């Protein structure tokens, strides 16, 4: 079959056949909206990545390094220990490690709280508890409004 294809068709005829088959296949895939979106998205990513690669030079490298340093310099406890939000499926590594350390430290924290309660001046815990209780009762009376 390949020999017949090569023997009886010109280069131009082969090109036309390939283009027609591609169009037919492309039209079939484009009937599915998700497939169309996926193909377009992949084509765009590929094009952008190629443009970035072509534009990447030492100047861009310096800009990138400077931007990374700025971002790191602007980090706070919130950005280091970031829990998932509406756009992220899971916590970052630092937040996971913090949670793990806190879980592992529960016995130590419990011991520290017990020691603090035992060393507090007489009546201090009762006064703090009474103040918290009074605030809860006051808020309940006001209908939960503060």
Instruction: Give the model's pLDDT for residue 145.
Output: 59
H helix or E strand, kind and range, residue 69: helix 58-73
Assess contact for 36 and 30: CB atoms under 8 A: yes
Q: State residue 144's pLDDT score.
A: 60
pLDDT in the model for residue 119 = 93
Q: Please spell the DSSP secondary structure of 83-118, one letter per residue.
A: PP-TT-SS--HHHHHHHHHHHHTHHHHHHHHHHHHH
- CA neighbor of 91 nearest in space, from 78, 102, 103, 106: 78
Average pLDDT by stretches of 10, the chain with 146 residues = 72 88 79 78 88 78 84 83 78 84 88 89 89 90 72
Please tell me the predicted confidence (pLDDT) of residue 21.
87
CB of 97 within 8 A of CB of 105?
Answer: no
pTM of the full predicted structure?
0.36
Position 82 scores a pLDDT of 78
Q: How far is CA 18 from the centre of its chain?
A: 42
């Amino acid at each position: 079959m390949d020999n017949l294809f090569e023997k009886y068709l010109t280069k131009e005829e082969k090109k036309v056949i390939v283009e027609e088959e591609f169009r037919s296949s492309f039209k079939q895939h484009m009937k599915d909206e998700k497939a169309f979106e996926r193909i377009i998205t992949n084509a765009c990513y590929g094009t952008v990545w190629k443009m970035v690669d072509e534009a990447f030079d030492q100047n861009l490298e310096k800009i990138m390094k400077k931007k990374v340093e700025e971002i790191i310099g602007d980090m706070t406890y919130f950005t280091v220990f970031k829990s998932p939000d509406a756009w992220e499926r899971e916590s970052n590594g630092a937040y996971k490690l913090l949670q793990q350390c806190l879980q592992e430290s529960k016995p130590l924290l419990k011991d520290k709280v017990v020691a603090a309660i035992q060393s507090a001046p007489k009546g201090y815990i009762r006064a703090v508890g009474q103040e918290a209780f009074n605030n809860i009762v006051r808020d309940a009376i006001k209908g939960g409004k503060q």
